[in-house]
């Protein structure tokens, strides 16, 4: 009984504490509801959703030991994870989507830890967890066997390791995680840049420890070697490098705008072409998994992102702004804002170049950092304007409830779905 | 005696990386428990009539009458007494001529699933005059195993091309032309 009492006390001590107690309860409720919406009926429908056929076919081929022709170009880690899931749970839709769900839920934990560590304030962590839990973009990709959500989770793991590193072991762990993120999709390697910035800026480990990032290509190579050996391909380093180059050129050779779902990076800021990942009909009603974001959170995060360079410029040139900034953010929190800004920017770099095909889902990983930034800003706001924050999280929960049917495949009438997905390009 | 005041205090919290790893395992285990308790697998198998080795299914295969001599596979393996007409190097297998009902040929079902089957042309309904146009037959397909490394061709003059996926191998019995 004593042990149970201690566990209970420990849990109560870690509950979200905000200026207004109601905010904490709403945050908890949002996290719970977001998690349930991700888990419920994830195994349905029984047919393939968005790009699942490619991933699952390749995952099966990894198990069968035949060439992975199911999916043309991406590194093998996400497909191998689906293979492992099929081994564990059988070849069924639940197993196909299990890694996405597992890592999607883990992302909620990770943004909590990153927010809390970066801003040294548990409110920032709780808000980040609630924000991500209540966002349709993250929800839909937690329910589809697609690598983007998995990569986002590994990117967040990498940043958490960089932020919490207190010695070489932490930096080496970070480098391994960056290598794994890049072994899901090559764009994941971009997280190496903000990870280095975080390590250098936070100064908790010697600057030269960033040489540990030399491990990143090695980890990437080892994952490829393991993957290719599973499908009977030559797995010596030179053959693997040759195969990587072949697949890379294939990937870079995609004809741009041949796919009507393709969207340019600047259209992501106004949710121009979100993708419906799954659609099924059932007794006159439809079940949809739309990747439309939580509009309130999305546009708030846009404001925070836009405010960051403006604030930075004003900070550099105005004493008054510096004084006012100091009243809101201490030095550590200022660094946190900078790290999150750099993280968002780094994950966007590839898409800014416009050299390869880009889709709405490519914004998922940068968006994770935008959500963290928003959580950091709102947590500061809570100190002085608790009621405003209460109103914001309450409104966020209402938007979540309204959109939940079209994010989490709850049965809804066609008219109801159209009311939520109001634009033609959203449907 | 009093306890030493120099003893460093125990760390007050878990390293966050350890905590996140622990949460990952807990979430994974919880989801596994939930999914294990769910009826997804059974429902999915019922829905798709999951093709497993040892099971039998009704399949509808699309054919033209020239397929009888044209369809062929090449492999050195013999599976449950069934084998391809050709060896991996493309030469006829010595054992292949004995019993035609044991010779595997590649077929496509009407929903475009590739399978290796033996015995289709020995069914009674396919012994007479075959339709001149493309037709389909329904058969009982008894799955005996999986071929991973065979080659196939759909014309007697074409070269063999290697399989890009694993393909089920089995016998086709009680085939009837769909009229």
Candidate from A67, A92, A117 with C-beta closest to B40 = A92
Q: What is the pLDDT of residue A380?
A: 93
Candidate from B19, B45, B148 with C-beta closest to A65 = B148
Alpha helices in A14-121 (DSSP H): 21-39, 52-64, 77-89, 93-119
Nearest CA in chain A to B36: A89
Give yes or no for A173 touching B (CB within 8 A): yes
Nearest CA in chain A to B42: A92
In a domain, A179, yes or no: no
pLDDT tens, residue order, chain B (179 aa): 344 444 554 454 568 888 888 888 888 888 887 777 666 666 776 665 666 777 788 889 999 988 988 999 998 888 888 889 998 888 888 765 567 788 999 999 988 888 999 999 988 888 888 888 899 999 999 888 888 778 999 988 888 988 877 788 999 998 998 87
Contact between chains at A39 and B47 (C-beta distance less than 8 A): no
In a domain, A393, yes or no: yes
Give yes or no for residue A304 having a pLDDT over 90: yes
Q: Where are the domains of chain B?
A: 10-48, 56-177
Candidate from A43, A69, A113 with C-beta closest to B40 = A43
In a domain, A244, yes or no: no
Q: Mind telling me how many Å the CA of A352 is from chain B's nearest CA?
A: 32
Contact between chains at B149 and A173 (C-beta distance less than 8 A): no
Nearest CA in chain B to A174: B17
Q: What is the pLDDT of residue B128?
A: 83
Contact between chains at B44 and A43 (C-beta distance less than 8 A): yes
Q: What is the pLDDT of residue A254?
A: 74
pLDDT in tens, A240-249: 899 889 888 8
Beta bridge partners, B118, equal B104, B171
pLDDT in tens, A189-234: 999 999 999 999 999 999 999 999 999 999 999 999 999 988 888 8
Give yes or no for A57 touching B (CB within 8 A): yes
Q: Mind telling me how many Å the CA of B147 is from chain A's nearest CA?
A: 10
Give yes or no for residue A251 having a pLDDT over 70: yes
Kindly tell me the burial class for residue B58, based on how many C-beta atoms sit within 10 Å of its own C-beta (0-12, 13-18, 19 or more). exposed
Q: Count of domains in chain A?
A: 1
Name the residue range of residue A285's domain.
19-146+273-426
Q: What is the pLDDT of residue A347?
A: 96
**Predicted ipTM > 0.85:** no
In a domain, A418, yes or no: yes
Contact between chains at A43 and B16 (C-beta distance less than 8 A): no
Compute the distance between CA of residue A12 and CA of residue A425 in angstroms, rounded to an integer.
45
Compute the distance between CA of residue B75 and CA of residue A405 in angstroms, rounded to an integer.
51
In a domain, A141, yes or no: yes
Closest by Cα among B84, B95, B67 to B158: B67
Question: How many Å separate Cα B90 from the centre of its chain?
Answer: 23
Closest by Cα among A24, A58, A15 to A382: A24
Confidence of residue A15 (pLDDT cuts 50, 70, 90): confident
- Copy the structure tokens of residue A208: 């030269």
Give yes or no for B19 touching A (CB within 8 A): yes
Residues of chain B with Cβ-Cβ distance to A173 below 8 Å are 17
Question: How many Å separate Cα A148 from the centre of its chain?
Answer: 8
Kindly tell me the burial class for residue B167, based on how many C-beta atoms sit within 10 Å of its own C-beta (0-12, 13-18, 19 or more). buried
Compute the distance between CA of residue A382 and CA of residue A123 in angstroms, rounded to an integer.
9
Q: Mind telling me how many Å the CA of A67 is from chain B's nearest CA?
A: 6
A261 vs A110: which has the higher pLDDT: A110
Compute the distance between CA of residue B161 and CA of residue B39 in angstroms, rounded to an integer.
40
What average pLDDT is seen over chain A?
A: 92
Give yes or no for B161 touching A (CB within 8 A): no
pLDDT in tens, A387-427: 999 999 999 999 999 999 999 999 999 999 999 999 888 88
Give yes or no for residue A281 having a pLDDT over 90: no
- Angle, alpha carbons A27-A29-A32 (nearest 5°): 110
In a domain, A251, yes or no: no
Candidate from A67, A90, A102 with C-beta closest to B31 = A102
């Amino acid at each position: 009984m004593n042990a149970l009492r201690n566990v209970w006390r420990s849990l109560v001590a870690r509950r979200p504490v905000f200026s207004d107690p109601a905010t904490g309860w709403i945050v908890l409720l949002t996290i719970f509801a977001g998690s349930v919406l991700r888990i419920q009926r994830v195994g349905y429908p029984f047919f393939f959703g968005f790009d699942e056929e490619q991933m699952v076919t390749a995952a099966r081929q990894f198990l069968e030991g035949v060439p992975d022709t199911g999916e043309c170009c991406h590194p093998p880690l996400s497909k191998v994870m689906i293979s492992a899931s099929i081994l564990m749970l059988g070849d069924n839709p639940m197993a196909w989507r299990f890694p996405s769900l597992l890592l999607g839920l883990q992302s909620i934990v990770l943004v909590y830890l990153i927010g809390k560590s970066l801003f040294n304030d548990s409110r920032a962590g709780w808000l980040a967890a609630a924000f991500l839990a209540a966002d349709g973009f993250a929800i839909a990709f937690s329910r589809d066997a697609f690598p983007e959500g998995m990569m986002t989770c590994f990117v967040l793991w990498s940043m958490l390791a960089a932020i919490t590193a207190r010695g070489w072991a932490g930096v080496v762990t970070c480098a391994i995680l960056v290598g794994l993120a890049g072994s899901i999709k090559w764009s994941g390697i971009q997280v190496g840049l903000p990870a280095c910035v975080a390590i250098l800026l936070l100064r908790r480990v010697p600057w030269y420890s960033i040489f540990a990032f030399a491990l990143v290509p090695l980890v990437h190579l080892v994952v490829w070697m393991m993957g290719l050996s599973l499908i009977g391909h030559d797995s010596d380093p030179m053959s693997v490098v040759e195969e990587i180059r072949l697949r890379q050129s294939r990937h870079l050779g995609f004809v741009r705008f041949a796919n009507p779902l393709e969207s340019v990076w600047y259209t992501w800021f106004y949710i121009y072409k979100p993708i419906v990942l799954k659609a099924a009909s059932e007794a006159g009603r439809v079940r949809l998994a739309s990747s439309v974001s939580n509009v309130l959170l999305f546009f708030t995060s846009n404001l925070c992102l836009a405010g960051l360079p403006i604030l930075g410029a004003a900070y550099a040139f105005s004493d008054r702004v510096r004084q006012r900034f100091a009243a809101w953010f201490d030095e550590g929190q200022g660094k946190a804002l900078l790290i999150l800004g750099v993280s968002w920017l780094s994950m966007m770099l590839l898409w800014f170049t416009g050299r390869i095909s880009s889709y709405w889902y490519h914004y998922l990983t940068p968006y994770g950092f935008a959500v963290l930034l928003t959580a950091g800003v709102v947590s500061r706001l809570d100190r002085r304007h608790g009621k405003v924050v209460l109103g914001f999280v309450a409104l966020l929960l209402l938007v979540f409830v309204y959109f939940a049917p079209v994010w989490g495949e709850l049965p809804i009438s066609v008219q109801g779905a159209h009311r939520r997905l109001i634009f033609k390009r959203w449907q | 005696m009093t306890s030493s005041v120099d003893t460093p205090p125990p760390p007050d919290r878990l390293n966050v990386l350890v905590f996140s790893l622990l949460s990952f395992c807990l979430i994974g285990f919880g989801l596994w428990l939930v999914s294990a308790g769910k009826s997804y697998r059974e429902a999915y198998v019922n829905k798709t009539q999951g093709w497993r080795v040892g099971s039998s299914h009704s399949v509808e295969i699309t054919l033209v009458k020239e397929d009888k001599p044209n369809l062929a596979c090449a492999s050195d393996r013999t599976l449950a007494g069934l084998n391809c007409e050709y060896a991996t190097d493309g030469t006829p297998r010595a054992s292949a001529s004995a019993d035609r009902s044991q010779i595997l040929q590649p077929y496509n079902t009407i929903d475009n699933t590739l399978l290796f089957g033996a015995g289709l042309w020995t069914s009674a309904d396919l012994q007479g005059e075959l339709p001149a146009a493309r037709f389909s037959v329904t058969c009982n397909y008894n799955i005996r195993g999986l071929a991973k490394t065979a080659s196939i061709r759909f014309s007697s003059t074409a070269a063999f091309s290697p399989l890009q996926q694993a393909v089920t191998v089995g016998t086709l019995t009680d085939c009837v032309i769909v009229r």
